[in-house]
Amino acid sequence: MYLATLLVLVAIPILAAIFGQPFWVNAATRIVIYGIVAMSLDLIVGYGAMVSFGHAAFFALGGYVAGILLTNGIDSAFVTWPAAMLAAALLAAGVGALSLRTSGVYFIMITLAFGQMVYYASVGLKMFGGTDGLPVPARSTLPLIDLRDATVFYIVCTVVLVAFFVIASRLVESRFGMVVRGAAESERRMTALGFPVARYRLVAFVIAGAVAGLAGALWADFSRFVSPDMASWTRSGEFLVMVILGGIGSLAGGLYGAAVLTGFESLFSGFTEHWMLVLGIVLILIVLFAKRGIYGVLAGRRHD
Amino acid sequence: MLQFRAVCAAFIALLLLGTSASAADPVKIGFITTLSTSGGYLGEDARDGFLLAMAEEGGSSLGGVPVKLLVEDDGLMPAKGKEIADKMVLQDKATLFTGIIYSNVDLAVVPGLLAGGATYVSLNAAPSQLAGKGCNKNYFVVSWMNDNLHEATGQYAQTLGFKKMVLLAPNYPAGKDAINGFKRFYHGTIADEIYTSLDQTDFSAELARVRADQPDAVFEFLPGGLGINFLKQFSQAGLKSKMKLVLSAASLESRIVSATGDDTIGVYGTAHWVQDLPYPANKKFVAGFIAKYHRDPTPYAAMGYDTAHEIASGLRAVGGDLTKADAFRAALKKANFASVRGNFRFGSDQEPIEDWYSTQVVKRGGKNEIVTIGKVARDLGNAYTSLCPL
Amino acid sequence: MTLALEQTLNGLQFGVMLFLLAAGLTLVFGIMGVINLAHGSMYMIGAYVAATSAEHGAPFAVAVLAGAAAAAVAGAVVEAVVVRRLYGRNHLDQVLATFGLILIANDGVSIVWGRTPLEMKIPDALAGAVPIFDISYPVYRLLLIACGVALAVALAFFVARTRLGALIRAGATHRELVGALGVNIVQLNTIVFALGALLAGVAGALLAPILSVQIGMGEQVLIMTFVAIVIGGLGSIRGAFVGALAIGLVDTLGRAYIPVLLRAVTTPDLADTLGGGLSAIAIYVLMAVVLIWKPRGLFPVSSR
């Protein structure tokens, strides 16, 4: 199935060229970037049982940092992207250190609170556009490749997605990953075994935040516009929906969830004004009847 | 193997279905507007006014040229507006756009469109950033330049003799244009400038400040549902008996008046279009609008109607062939259509030069209406024209 | 200090209305363990039905009751069809499913009522203002404060003194036991859910004349409701009251005074946006502080 997905991802620009539909590349890039965020969220939600309702904050911070650098003439991707990741990582370290003292629904609420703080900060800081947003004048640049070409940019984003997928897959099977997953099941057991659970969790949280920040920078490059709604709680909610839709704990599910949620909107908004009604029904049906999300449907019923 | 095919099919289906079949013939007009949130009816009215003009030609053409109107909702979100614009440019290959209501969406969308060579004809938002130095040969404004709307009100407030005023507006580009425009023509004392947010519903905090400031009159620019809430709460707070209100057309239109009932009787306003203007084009518009939609038109509908006719005049001149860019632009600049406002033409910067009227809300035959009292300004251009190189 | 008095009354009014929403939400979460994002939709339904009834000539009290009843019915239906299947599921699934309900509700309302906001007039008898010390305060807002307090007292009495109330309290702390005692848990759940929806509907109906009755009005207030019940302690009605009042006062007084304080140091529009942002963050800072000090809220209900 992963092979099939990869083939589809690669085929899209080719098909777009054949059919003369450059918009497909545009739509696919959006899906891939959101897929990266959803995957990073799945890392902590699916494997670490840390349900963060403020993940969009890292996405937004990464986007703003990249956007601000680009507005000030700094356009090397070797600066903008790592800067975005670093900023997001620092924020995640701070938020994580405080939030991970709580658990369950309180963790959800406190991450929500921090997400809202980032949102209102971006609204309040008028020098970065406030609610009107910040147009980004140019894309980041890489040596030898022209990122201004839509297809090239799409391929770079896909490479990032696949690279993160591979790294994350290794991570969850590593000793580090086992500890985090074990702690999700039983914190007591892990602590009894002598693992510094809190520290491992924080590291996972920071990694997820940093990757979301990178996606934010890619978004700034892609849409050439960053705005506070990148940090809103509804955006965080959407990322959670993508994770759940795709299948928690499946990693690749993040991409599928992103595809469905994004594709749904563009698909149906052309047909009917009331696509949200349809989406709502689909979401409920999936929760009630397709417990493992799209991943579960695609992977077959082998493990149930 | 089945899974492989299933995944492939699913993704391709998703994408294929999402793209519309491209028909070469009708001219595609991208209509990005606000159809949801408390400002949703502004976009609905603009769209309905535009469609009324199209209906006069049978429903699917303008200026004798077949057109396809692509209407989408930006939800008052600049990022969403930009997404829709990108889609319409890339997927639908549209090169002619209109429809944006809110200036923050406008500033996120229009510069990109203009940079890509598309033409934008504004039926509402016209922020100061796109006037003066920001003007562009492909950018035309049919409605008003943002500041004008409130300059007229400032002028009227000055004429009415209010000595001390409080000004309110939402904190976004058009709100700042509003306060700047008002201050340009009003020379009394400004006791307070209060900025609200665009999605507020409760103004108790702001009203408490107004009460403490004790002005003779209050000016507010709060369009759509924002204004409805404010005016209701203003009256409930007992402030209506203590101070006057003088509003610009965006804050005092037929929907707001019908929603606020007696809370708005006696309120003063200024507008470039009033329902009772005697011009033939206006009588035709109002009658047609009420017959088709069973409600009174707002200025947004009137501007949608005028903009459709303006676009029609351009399309007629080039026979629908937008590749004749210079001829299209020249035709648009002539503004060769009968405006519902009577006197209308473009300045050299392609922003409007038009008259402004003073109005008041009165009860007539049991119904509250906005009636024209007089003219506040004649042939008003905008303050930035000289900075525009066009 | 007339400004302070008026603002304090405003804060009380907001807080007390928020309590009506918070009470229902905390009961549903505390007793059924379900995170219900669609609670705001009940509030919206209450407002819409009340406004429509008033438009068709119903006297004010009848319109409010109609709104409340409609919300209660909607709540019962939603519980029977969807929420019932979410008990015992993890919070993430509940978030997704109830998020789907929000989409359905919002779109459903737009189909029935269109997108134009509705208006509801305050009855003439209540439309004036009364002098209180130096200010004249709207009668209607005083009525809201009175109604809210009265309902709070009634709810407290109901929970403390009636058999049904006792069952609810028992259900909050010892769910299995209540079931074992032969009580029809399914019915109890539906009743609790409908009761919560009723209170939300009352709030919506009462607030309709002063706020805009529009699609999405529930989400704006939902997040504050969640913050209120987390501060108060999930499952505790007393906590919901304290939490809601705290939020009402902090938010209103913050919005009123922070910009004023900022004006001393910066320009009016910057002061207002920054002030708006800071006061919006204020309630989240409050929640974060409370959670760090008391991780389960101010009045935690010791749960099963």
Look at C276 and A51 and tell me if their CB atoms are within 8 Å.
Answer: no
Q: A196: helix, coil or strand? A: coil
Report the alpha-carbon distance of residue B274 to residue A62 in Å, rounded: 48
Instruction: Say if B303 falls within a structural domain.
Output: yes
Residues A174 and A292 in one domain: no
Residues A148 and A273 in one domain: no
Task: Report H helices in C87-184.
Answer: 91-113, 139-161, 163-173, 175-180
Question: Is residue A61's pLDDT more than 90?
Answer: yes
Task: Give the pLDDT of residue A184.
Answer: 83
Q: At A74, is the pLDDT very low, low, confident or very high (cuts 50, 70, 90)? A: confident
The residues pairing with B357 across neighbouring beta strands, listed in sequence order, are B271, B375
Say whether residue B232 is in contact with chain C using an 8 A CB cutoff.
Answer: yes
Question: How many domains in chain C?
Answer: 1
Report the alpha-carbon distance of residue A100 to residue C295 in Å, rounded: 11
Instruction: Say if C29 falls within a structural domain.
Output: yes
* C-alpha atoms less than 13 angstroms from C-alpha of A84 in its C-beta half-sphere: 34
Residues B140 and B151 in one domain: no
Give the least confident one: B29-43, B69-83, B222-236, C168-182: C168-182
What's the token pair of residue B279? 């011009």
Residues B56 and B189 in one domain: no
Residue in chain C lying closest to B175 (CA): C269
Residues A162 and A91 in one domain: yes
Complex confidence, ipTM? 0.80
For residue range B1-41, list pLDDT tens digits in order.
Answer: 555 555 555 555 555 554 444 445 799 999 999 987 778 88
For residue range C220-253, list pLDDT tens digits in order.
Answer: 788 889 889 989 988 888 899 999 999 999 988 8
Say whether residue C227 is in contact with chain A using an 8 A CB cutoff.
Answer: yes
Instruction: Say if A28 falls within a structural domain.
Output: no
Say whether residue C289 is in contact with chain A using an 8 A CB cutoff.
Answer: no
Report the alpha-carbon distance of residue A181 to residue A190 in Å, rounded: 10
Using an 8 Å Cβ cutoff, are B341 and B358 in contact?
Answer: no
Write down the pTM of the prediction.
0.82
Which amino acid is it at C177? L
Look at A109 and C281 and tell me if their CB atoms are within 8 Å.
Answer: no
Report the alpha-carbon distance of residue C175 to residue A79 in Å, rounded: 56
Task: Give the pLDDT of residue A82.
Answer: 95
Question: How many domains in chain A?
Answer: 2
Q: At B125, is the pLDDT very low, low, confident or very high (cuts 50, 70, 90)? A: very high
Residues A288 and A168 in one domain: no
Instruction: Say if A274 falls within a structural domain.
Output: yes
Residues A191 and A227 in one domain: yes
Task: Give the pLDDT of residue C303.
Answer: 52
Look at B3 and A300 and tell me if their CB atoms are within 8 Å.
Answer: yes
Instruction: Say if B2 falls within a structural domain.
Output: no
For residue range B280-328, list pLDDT tens digits in order.
Answer: 999 999 999 999 999 999 999 999 999 999 999 999 999 988 889 999 9
Residues A127 and A258 in one domain: no
Q: At A21, is the pLDDT very low, low, confident or very high (cuts 50, 70, 90)? A: confident
Look at C234 and A45 and tell me if their CB atoms are within 8 Å.
Answer: no
Domain residues for the domain of A261 are 233-304
Instruction: Say if C81 falls within a structural domain.
Output: yes
Query: What distance lies between CA B191 and its chain's CA centroid?
Result: 29
Which of A170, A201, A231 is where one domain is finished? Answer: A231
Task: Give the pLDDT of residue B20.
Answer: 46
Q: At B182, is the pLDDT very low, low, confident or very high (cuts 50, 70, 90)? A: very high
Instruction: Choose the closest CB to A276 out of C85, C103, C223.
Output: C103
Q: A290: helix, coil or strand? A: coil
Nearest to B340 by CA among B296, B253, B279: B279
Residues A96 and A143 in one domain: yes
Report the alpha-carbon distance of residue C7 to residue C11 in Å, rounded: 6
Domain residues for the domain of B73 are 7-144+278-346
What's the token pair of residue A226? 């960053």
Residue in chain C lying closest to B208 (CA): C3
Using an 8 Å Cβ cutoff, are A84 and A217 in contact?
Answer: yes
Residues B231 and B335 in one domain: no
Residues B311 and B232 in one domain: no
Residues B39 and B86 in one domain: yes
What's the token pair of residue C116? 């134009």
Instruction: Say if A293 falls within a structural domain.
Output: yes
Using an 8 Å Cβ cutoff, are B249 and B299 in contact?
Answer: yes
Looking at residues C120-127, what average pLDDT do you find? 81
The residues pairing with B120 across neighbouring beta strands, listed in sequence order, are B97, B139
Instruction: Say if C228 falls within a structural domain.
Output: no
Residues A91 and A216 in one domain: yes
Residues B161 and B227 in one domain: yes
Catalogue the long-range contacts made by B62-65 (C-beta closer than 8 Å, 24 or more residues apart): B62/B27, B62/B29, B62/B308, B62/B311, B62/B312, B62/B315, B63/B311, B63/B312, B63/B313, B63/B314, B63/B315, B63/B316, B63/B317, B63/B320, B64/B315, B64/B316, B64/B320, B65/B27, B65/B312, B65/B315, B65/B316, B65/B319, B65/B320
Residue in chain B lying closest to C208 (CA): B229
Instruction: Say if B197 falls within a structural domain.
Output: yes
Domain residues for the domain of C119 are 2-214
Residues A203 and A297 in one domain: no
Task: Give the pLDDT of residue B258.
Answer: 85
Nearest to A105 by CA among C85, C228, C91, C290: C91
Instruction: Say if B50 falls within a structural domain.
Output: yes
Which amino acid is it at A273? E
Residues B380 and B246 in one domain: yes
Instruction: Say if B342 falls within a structural domain.
Output: yes
Residues A183 and A290 in one domain: no
Distance between C119 CA and the closest CA of chain B, angstroms: 6
Q: At A304, is the pLDDT very low, low, confident or very high (cuts 50, 70, 90)? A: very low
Question: Is residue A297's pLDDT more than 70?
Answer: no
Instruction: Say if C223 falls within a structural domain.
Output: no
Q: Which residues of C touch B221 (CB under 8 A)?
A: none
Instruction: Say if C230 falls within a structural domain.
Output: no
Instruction: Say if A12 falls within a structural domain.
Output: no
Q: Which residues of A touch C280 (CB under 8 A)?
A: 116, 120
Instruction: Say if A23 falls within a structural domain.
Output: no
CA torsion, ordered A18, A20, A24, A26, to nearest 10 deg = 120
Report the alpha-carbon distance of residue C234 to residue C36 in Å, rounded: 13
Instruction: Say if A47 falls within a structural domain.
Output: no
Instruction: Choose the closest CB to A101 out of C227, C274, C295.
Output: C295
Look at A8 and B82 and tell me if their CB atoms are within 8 Å.
Answer: no
Say whether residue B204 is in contact with chain C using an 8 A CB cutoff.
Answer: yes
For residue range B45-79, list pLDDT tens digits in order.
Answer: 999 999 999 999 988 999 999 999 999 989 888 88
Residues 121-150 in A contacting C (C-alpha not used; CB under 8 Å): 121, 123-124, 126, 130
Longest dimension (CA), chain A: 60
Residues B298 and B196 in one domain: no
Residues B244 and B338 in one domain: no
Residues B88 and B208 in one domain: no
Q: Which residues of B touch C217 (CB under 8 A)?
A: 201
Look at A3 and B4 and tell me if their CB atoms are within 8 Å.
Answer: yes
Chains that touch A (3 or more CB pairs under 8 A): B, C
Question: How many domains in chain B?
Answer: 2
Report the alpha-carbon distance of residue A285 to residue B77 in Å, rounded: 29
Instruction: Say if C267 falls within a structural domain.
Output: no
Task: Give the pLDDT of residue B180.
Answer: 92
Residues A256 and A179 in one domain: no
The CATH number covering residue B238 comes to 3.40.50.2300
Report the alpha-carbon distance of residue B47 to residue B297 in Å, rounded: 12
Residues A239 and A214 in one domain: no
Parallel, antiparallel, or unpaired for β B189-196 and B164-170? parallel
Which of A214, A231, A248 is where one domain is finished? Answer: A231
What's the token pair of residue C37? 């994002």
Write the DSSP string, B154-217.
HHHHHHHT--EEEEEEESSHHHHHHHHHHHHH--SEEEEEEEE-TT----HHHHHHHHHH--SE
> What is the percent of chain C with per-residue pLDDT over 90, rounded to a whole number?
32
Residues 88-147 in A contacting B (C-alpha not used; CB under 8 Å): 130-133, 135
Looking at residues B221-237, what average pLDDT do you find? 88
CA angle A145-A147-A153, nearest 5°? Answer: 110
Which of A183, A209, A231 is where one domain is finished? Answer: A231
Residues B264 and B342 in one domain: no
Residues B195 and B291 in one domain: no
For residue range B327-378, list pLDDT tens digits in order.
Answer: 999 999 999 999 999 889 999 999 999 999 999 999 988 888 999 999 998 8
> What is the percent of chain B with per-residue pLDDT over 90, rounded to a whole number?
61
Task: Report the first-to-last Cα separation within chain B, whole angstroms.
Answer: 63
Query: How many other β-carbons are positioned within 10 Å of the β-carbon of residue B368?
Result: 18
Scanning the structure block, which residue is given the tokens 């492909």?
Answer: B138
Q: Is B340 exposed, middle or buried (0-12, 13-18, 19+ CB in 10 A)?
A: buried
CA torsion, ordered B169, B172, B177, B178, to nearest 10 deg = -20
> What is the percent of chain A with per-residue pLDDT over 70, rounded to a whole number?
93
Scanning the structure block, which residue is given the tokens 């209407």?
Answer: B71
